[in-house]
Structure formats: C-alpha cells, structure tokens
Structure 1
Amino acid sequence: MATNILFVKNMVCHRCILAVRDILLDLSISFDQVSIGEIHLSESLTKEQNELLSTNLNQIGLQLIDNRMNGLVEKIKQLVIMKARKEVGPNEHKMKLSVFLSEQLHHEYTYLSSFFSSVEGRTIENYFIDQRIEKVKELLVYKEMTLSEIAFEMEYSSVAHLSNQFKKISGLTPSHFKRVGSNKRKLLDQI
C-alpha cells in the first residue's frame, strides 16, 4: 500500500521531528515515518484530521504545505541546510551542491535552480551562502574555535574569503559579531 506524504514547512531539525511525532500520536493519526520536512501517513487524513494537524503544527511554528511544488522548494531548502551545516554523509559532503541536489531530488539542477528562484526570488547558491554564514555565526557564538579554525571547518579558501562573505551577508565583521553575539543570529526558518 502506497503511503501518503505530507510536506511540512520549517521542519529543519531532530526536535521538530519529535514534536511532529508527538502531535500525530496525540491526534491518533497513524503514520509510518516522520523525517525532516515530511510525514509519511499510513492512510489518508479526513478533512477534520487535516485541520487539527494543521492547527497543532502552526502552534509550534510549522506549517503544512498544500501542494507538491511548494513541497519541492521546502525539500531543496532542507537539503541545502543539511549540506551547509555538514549534516550529510562523507560521499554527499564531497559532492558539488548542484550534483547533490540533483541526485537527492531526481531532477536536473537547471530545473531545480530556476524553479527555486521563481518561487523564492533568490538563487539556491545565495540561500546556501546564507546558511553557511548562519553556521559560522553559531560557531562564533560558541567561542570554542578561532576564525581560522572556523574557516577551515567550513571549507573556506581563506580567513579573508570567510570574512568578506560574512561582512557582505551580515553587515558586520566576524570579530564584531563575536562581540555582539547571539542577538544577531537568525532562526533557520527566517533565512
């Protein structure tokens, strides 16, 4: 029996998965699997179940996506976040972003890129850079690594390259950001 898949916007971490599982259990909605951005249902939802699920998800900052096209944009975002934060396997980590997305989503990158740009008003590459900079901000706030170590960890060609990109995106130098700290960070779903 084929499962029904629901797409969920802003579902970007393991805690989100746990929260969605709890909601599904509370609402007695049977499911096969919950993964980042997706709920695999055992059976179709009634209109009432769909409304209850949507309401409960909205209360925790998540949102059901009503069509496959918006689902594709969310899937692209989730994969970009995973790649930018280095939360992929070693083989996927070595791949170029375009190859990684094409293989994961089974579409040509040119299609994914133009579709994403038309819906989001910016490129996948720009979104990827924003995600990398947010990861750099996180590492700066932790104050456990030097800027050189962060540049190496995030695979920038040099500290200067990281600093230039950081200033271009955030408007601050990394050292100034380190002083002002976490109040300048953005939530992942607001990037």
Structure 2
Amino acid sequence: MTLYIKNMVCDRCKMVIADLFKKTGITVKSIELGEIETLDELTPEQLQTIEKRLRTVGFELIDDKRKQIVQKIKTIIIELVQNQSEVLKKINQSAYIAENIGRDYKYLTTLFSEVEGTTIEHFLIIQKIEKVKEFLVYDELSLSQIADMMFYSSVQHLSMQFKKITGLTPSHFKQMKANKRISINQL
C-alpha cells in the first residue's frame, strides 16, 4: 500500500516517518520523500492511528489524488534544489518534472496553480532562494560562487530575484544574523 505524506522534505523526515511506522508495528517496504510503501494493506484503524501520529510530528496523509500529484511535483523540485543542483543546469526543468510525474507539463502547471495558488516556477524560485539563504548563513562562499552553484545567469540576476522574494539584498540578509531561513515545509 502506498501512502502520500505532506511535508516530507529531507532525509531526517524519512527517518522520523520510518520510526513512527516501526513503533506502530507497520512494516515499511520503501520510503521516499513524500511517499511510503507498506508491505501490507492497512486497516482503517491503522490508517487513523498513523494519521494522528503523523500530525503530532508535523506531517499529514494526502488522500486527494490531485494533492498527491502536487506533492510529487514539490518533492521533485526540492530534491533538485537541495541534492541535485547540477541537474538544474543540464535539464529543461519542465520536461524533467513532466517525465518524472508521467503527465503533460501544461496539465501539471494548471493543477499546481489550482491547488497551491502559485506557479511551479515560483515554487522553484522560492526553493532556490532558500538554498541561497543557507549558503549565505554558512558564509563559506562568495555571492558569485553561490550564483554559479545555483545556476543563475549572473550575480545581478540572483540579487534581483533574492530581493524580490525576501525584500532584502543578499548582503543585507547576510548581515542580519537574526533573519534565519524558513523550513522547507513551511513554504
């Protein structure tokens, strides 16, 4: 049985979910960001227990098919930005998303906008800006290096997008140590 879970955005989320299922006595066949496959079908009581336990740790089950597709899109984008930024440069992002979901991109963009109230492109930009914030907080790379790593055409393009999303320039953000990053699942 495959369950779709909202707010799974990192490997630690996967560990928390795996532990939660283990403590509930449910055998997990596989676990990926946004979804978990159990070895057996779950009873309504087990599903209710899982749902309650997931909510206590900031997750929730997604049973609406449209929302499941949107969650898959978000997971693909988060993985691209967080773990495979090199892929961002080499691929057409819309084709990559469509291929991984197995649906036409036009359908996916319409669905995403209807469900989330924003575009896939805007969601991608927000994810990239959060990654830029992470790099700025760590203070190990220059803005030029960050722009290269995140595949912006220039430092100016990165700075303009950063200011549009955050209201701050990257250098001003860097100076404001109190202004920390937003959790991915809160975006």
Q: TM-score range by the shorter chain?
A: over 0.9
Residues 82 and 102 of structure 1, relative CA distance in 2, 3 Å threshold: same
1:171 matched residue in structure 2: 167
1:53 aligns with 2:50: yes
1:136 matched residue in structure 2: 132
Q: 2:110 aligns with which of 105, 109, 114?
A: 114
CA shift for structure 1 position 31: 2.1
Rounded Cα–Cα distance in structure 2 between residues aligned with 1:96 and 1:23: 37
1:83 matched residue in structure 2: 80
List runs of 5+ in structure 1 lacking aligned partners.
Answer: none
Rounded Cα–Cα distance in structure 2 between residues aligned with 1:58 and 1:174: 35
Name the count of aligned residue pairs. 187
CA shift for structure 1 position 67: 2.1
* Stretches of 4+ aligned residues off by more than 6 angstroms: none
Residues 182 and 127 of structure 1, relative CA distance in 2, 3 Å threshold: farther
**Secondary structure in 2 aligned to 1:156?**
coil
Percent identical: 44
> Is the Cα–Cα contact under 8 Å of residues 9 and 63 in structure 1 kept in the other structure?
yes
Residues 151 and 92 of structure 1, relative CA distance in 2, 3 Å threshold: closer
Residues 17 and 94 of structure 1, relative CA distance in 2, 3 Å threshold: same
Residues 182 and 76 of structure 1, relative CA distance in 2, 3 Å threshold: farther
State the one-letter code of the partner of 1:107: R
Rounded Cα–Cα distance in structure 1 between residues aligned with 2:177 and 2:88: 31
Q: TM-score w.r.t. structure 1 length?
A: 0.93
CA shift for structure 1 position 93: 5.5
Q: 1:28 aligns with which of 20, 25, 29?
A: 25
State the one-letter code of the partner of 1:113: T
Question: RMSD of aligned C-alpha atoms?
Answer: 1.5
**Secondary structure in 2 aligned to 1:45?**
coil
State the one-letter code of the partner of 1:141: V
Rounded Cα–Cα distance in structure 2 between residues aligned with 1:116 and 1:161: 25
Q: TM-score w.r.t. structure 2 length?
A: 0.95
